[in-house]
Every structure is written in C-alpha cells, then in structure tokens.
Amino acid sequence: MVILDIKGLEHRYPGRDTIAFPDFNVSSGERVLLVGPSGAGKSTLLNLITGVLPVQTGSICLLAQSYRGALRKGLDRLRADHMGVIFQTLNLIPYLSAEANAGLGVRFSKTRQKHIVNLESEIARLGQTLGLSATHLQAKAKDLSIGQQQRVAVIRALLGTPELIIADEPTSALDPQSTDAFIDELFTSLDTTTQGVLMVSHDPSLRERFDRVIELEATPT
C-alpha cells in the first residue's frame, strides 16, 4: 500500500529560486533514505510532508488524502494520526520524564490512542526493544544521554503505529557503533506490514540499509 505519494512538487520562498522535488512514494514496510547537499531542500521537503508548509505546486498525498485544499487543522490532524517525527537532536521536553515524552506521541491523536490497549505497557515494550529500562523511562529527559533521548524519540514516533515515520538525521549526534545499533533497533521496532520510513541522512554508510535512496540536488538561490 502506498503511504506517501509526491508528484510535481515545487516550493518557492519569497525572493528565492524555486526548489523542485523529484516524484517519489513510500509504501508500507519500505525504508527510504533522502540524501542531498545542504540547501537541496531536505528540510523544506520534510516540512511540506508534515503539512507545516503549504503545498504551492504539485501534490502530496498521504494515505490517498491530498494536501491540496486541506485546511491547516486537517493537516495537523493528518500529522498527529499518521506520522511519527524524529528530530536530529533535542527531541524531548527536558523537564518531562522519558515516559511522559514518549506518551506525547499519542496525546493529540485519538486514532493512535485506539491502537494502544495500555499506554504504559506499550511504552515499556518499545523501551525494551530499544534497550531502555524502566529506570530510564522514569528519568527526566534532561538526565538521559543523547542516544537514550533518541531512543525515547523513536518510542514517541512509533507509539500508536502511525503509517509514516519521518526521521531528520537522527543519528548525526551518534558515533558509528551507536548509529548501527540505533538503526537496527528502529527497524526492528517497525511494523513492516503497515509502516514506512522516510529518513534524511548525510551518512553514506547508511545507504545500504535502506530499500531506496532519493537524491536531492542543490538548488541555486
């Protein structure tokens, strides 16, 4: 099943050149890597996919729902119900516990809440898969290491089984050994029958871990 479908997508910031994106899609169970030099529009593309930036030209469809003409509230809902987002760093609210941070993933989505019978045990299950103990989950986010924080962000993104996991260079702050372990744990935690991954990374060693690599070209500004 196609989760994300992008066709003829272009975006132009005021006073700058238009960024044109290649057509591509992400299907269930597929792991897609997005690469490109700085200024190629990776962040713009992710902001368009998450529905934060409005679609100007072309189309984005998530689970066959087009972003064109959708209200901002509707896009917020799509993001809450069907996307899990992992940032490069600073993924967590520092004063909340790891468990509370993870739980934020389903706070704004009734759809995702329906997929969970018991939130605490689901967080604990995912935590176990990702190597986080109960002590880690009870700790304040600010007291965890960067790697542990990234794992909590993965739990948050996966909780309630959203169809599309978007990760923006989640391994950039990790050493090569931790990067491998992190990617292993992320892919192990995925439900390959329903979920797809779209990840941005500069790390060439990751290419072979993905089903498909989409390259963005630098755009003159």
Partner 1 sequence: MMTLALASLRARALPVILVIVALTASLVLLLSIDRIQKATENGFTQSISGVDLIIGPRSGGIELVLYTGFHLGRPTNNITMQTVEAVSKRPEIDWLVPIALGDSHRGHRVIATTVDYFAHVRYAGDRPLAFAEGKPFADLNEVVLGARVAEKLGYTLGTELYLTHGSGQGLGKTHDDFTFTVTGILEPTGTPNDSAVFVGLDGYELIHLGWQSGSRVFSLDNLDLNQLPPDALTPKTVTAAYVGLKSKLGIFQLMRDLAAYPEEAISAVIPGVALAELWSIVGMVDRVFQFLSGMIIVIALIGLITMTLTGLDARTREMTILRAVGATPLHLASWVMLEALAIGVLSSLAALGVLTAVTALASEPLTEALGIIPEIAFLTSSEAITLSAVIFAGLLSSLWPAIMVYRRSLQQGLLD
Q: Which residues bind to partner 1, rule: CB under 8 A?
A: 43-44, 46-47, 50, 52-53, 72-73, 76-77, 79-81, 85, 87, 90-96, 100, 104-105, 107-109, 156, 166, 168
The answer to whether 182 touches 214, Cβ cutoff 8 Å, is: no
Reduced to 3 states, what is the DSSP secondary structure of residue 59?
Answer: strand
Choose between 26 and 208: whose C-beta lies nearer to partner 1.
26
Choose between 81 and 185: whose C-beta lies nearer to partner 1.
81
H helix or E strand, kind and range, residue 32: strand 31-35
Choose between 107 and 125: whose C-beta lies nearer to partner 1.
107
User: Tokens 């790390």 appear where?
Assistant: 203
Question: In the bound complex, what is the minimum distance in angstroms from residue 155's beta carbon to partner 1?
Answer: 12
Question: In the bound complex, what is the minimum distance in angstroms from residue 113's beta carbon to partner 1?
Answer: 11
Question: ∠ at Cα 44 (63, 73), nearest 5°?
Answer: 50
The answer to whether 147 touches 174, Cβ cutoff 8 Å, is: yes
Choose between 72 and 125: whose C-beta lies nearer to partner 1.
72
Question: In the bound complex, what is the minimum distance in angstroms from residue 170's beta carbon to partner 1?
Answer: 11
Question: In the bound complex, what is the minimum distance in angstroms from residue 202's beta carbon to partner 1?
Answer: 14
Q: How far is 95 from 98, CA to CA, in rounded Å?
A: 9
